[in-house]
Each structure stands twice: as C-alpha cells, then as structure tokens.
Amino acid sequence: MGSLGLFSDLRASKAPILLQDSRAIRGGPTKKLFVFDLDGTLAESKSAVSGDVAGLLYDLLGVMKVAVISGGGWPQFERQLLENLPGDDRFENLFLLPTCGTQFFRFVGGWTRIYSEDLNDQERQLIVSSLHKALEQSGEAVAKIWGAAIEDRGSQITLSVLGQEAPLSEKEKWDPDFTKREKIAAILRPLLPAFAINMGGTTSIDVTKPGIDKAYGIGKLREHLGFSLSEMLFAGDAIFEGGNDYPVQEAGVDSIQVRDPRETAHVIQAVIACLGNGLIQMTSSKKVS
C-alpha cells in the first residue's frame, strides 16, 4: 500500500479535496481509525495545534476514532495537543502514543498510561555519550542552543541540535533537506548498532530500542484496539525513506503525505466531507456537529 495521492494542490485551493486512492473510497475497506503524526502534521514543531486544527480534530472525534503517534514525550502531547482540545467524552475516541508507541495513553475517566517501555540506565548512558560524540565528530554542532540539546523521554532519547526550545524560524532553516542530520546519523549508527535511529521534526534525531519506530506504534494500536491495518488511515509530513513517518507506510497502512498543518486541516475537512457524502466507509452513524 502506498501514500494516498491528492487530486488538488492544497496550497492553491481552499476547496475540499478528494482522496484519490480507491482503497479509501466506496467499495474499499472500512476505515475505523485515523492516525496522525504530531510535529509538522497537526502542529508546527513544538508548537500548539491551531484553533482551526483543534476544531477539526474535535469534529473528527465525533465520527471516528483518532490516534496520534509521535517521537515526542507525554509532556509535549499535553502542551501541544490536549490543552487545546475541549475535554469531554470525545476523548474516549482519542488514543495517544508518545515516543513512537513505546508509551500508550487512553482516556478512562482521565488520561491513563497503559504502559511505558523505558530504557535502562546502561542503555541511557551509552546513547547519551554516543550522541555527544556523533554531534562533535560531524562538525554540525551550533554555537547557540535554546534549552537542552539532549532529552531523555524514558523510552527514547532525542537529540535536538538547536535545543528543545529553539525558535521555529531557526529550526526550519537549519536542516530543511535532512542532510545535516543524516551526517550525524551516519556517525551514530556504528556507535549504536543495537538501537533504532530515526530523524524527526525539524532538528531532531530519535534513538530507541531496536525495532522501535512508528510501525511499532501501529502494531500497538492493533494489539490494544483490535483494528487491522486496512481499517487505518495515516497522515504525516515525513513519509519518505529515512523519514520517521515512512515505517507506517511500509507497514501497509494507507498513508497521506502532507506538507504542513494547514494541509492536514484540508485533509481532515475532506475526510469529514466524504463521511457526510458516504464516500468513505465508516462504522459510526454519528453526524458531524
């Protein structure tokens, strides 16, 4: 299964778009779960979701189940996503997977952590020292950083070269084509052969246990919610080889490549519109409010 094409140039048109791939329209498998990346997809890097995206997500939660999977930690989900969504019973349709699914949260009267698969102390020490070494050897270290460059997220350790609190304007221009991070990752891989290394966001490199990527998170959604791959739809901004959304497509989930949160908003609008017109098969009979 490949990335779902879009008929229209979303940046040029505000009109609702249609999903081109026939597997997502009438006659294809029923889509029960829409899975989203967070940074670069629902929100700008380390920023809160906009009011428009939050409103559309709320509407979407009224008609189908939604999951968000990201390399970010739980505090990032709270700050970027949950603080900007109305907290009502629609949260029961929302499932959150920080650090690529090595943590899983669902709403059971309140947000409840179902599991967390954390690194041990020895693994943490090795990863942190290797990140420092790879950054230094790459020659890509910067003179000024904003906040901590290395963040321990329990089940994942993340290098943000410009720092966790760097302004978005600085992050967007530092490595737009991933070449600087690939240089760092090339040095890092032989230092950490037993770990998974993925590039995420705009300046980040994520290190996890082997086999941990967003496809792993998709597997956790199957395990805990019982949905098949054909019942899922995914949207992300890094669905390309080496991108941290690419494993979802490789796992066999129908995927929509987006360029930014504005484009994601159009995709959500299109899905809601298609639901109303019966173009996408869904199990819920609820109407968008």
- Model pLDDT for residues 131-150, shown as the tens digit of each residue: 999 999 999 999 999 999 99
User: Can you give the pTM of this predicted structure?
Assistant: 0.75
Token pair, residue 213, equals 């990527």
Q: Tell me the per-residue pLDDT of 111-126, one tens digit each, with 9 for 90 and over.
A: 999 998 899 999 999 9
Cβ neighbours of 55 (radius 10 Å):
16
Which of 20, 60, 43, 77 is CA-nearest to residue 264? Answer: 43
User: Looking at residue 273, what is its pLDDT?
Assistant: 87
Beta strands in 98-253 (DSSP E): 103-107, 111-116, 150-152, 157-160, 196-200, 204-208, 232-236
Cβ neighbours of 167 (radius 10 Å):
12
User: Looking at residue 29, what is its pLDDT?
Assistant: 62
Higher-pLDDT residue of 273, 181: 181
In this structure, the strands spanning 33-36 and 232-236 are parallel
User: Looking at residue 22, what is its pLDDT?
Assistant: 32
Alpha-carbon torsion (47, 52, 58, 61), positive or negative: negative
Q: Tell me the per-residue pLDDT of 51-97, one tens digit each, with 9 for 90 and over.
A: 999 999 999 999 999 999 998 889 999 999 999 998 899 999 999 99
Unique residue bearing structure tokens 């997220």: 153
Fold designation for 121-208: 3.30.1240
pLDDT at 245 > cutoff 50: yes
Q: 163 in helix, strand or coil?
A: coil
Residues of the chain with CATH 3.40.50.1000: 3-117+212-277
Q: Tell me the per-residue pLDDT of 215-234, one tens digit each, with 9 for 90 and over.
A: 999 999 999 999 999 999 99
User: Looking at residue 280, what is its pLDDT?
Assistant: 52
pLDDT at 284 > cutoff 90: no
> What's the rounded Cα separation, in Å, for the pair 116 and 105?
9
Band of the pLDDT at 276, cuts 50, 70, 90? low
pLDDT at 285 > cutoff 50: no
Fold designation for 3-117+212-277: Rossmann fold (3.40.50)
Higher-pLDDT residue of 201, 256: 256
Residues of the chain with CATH 3.30.1240.20: 121-208
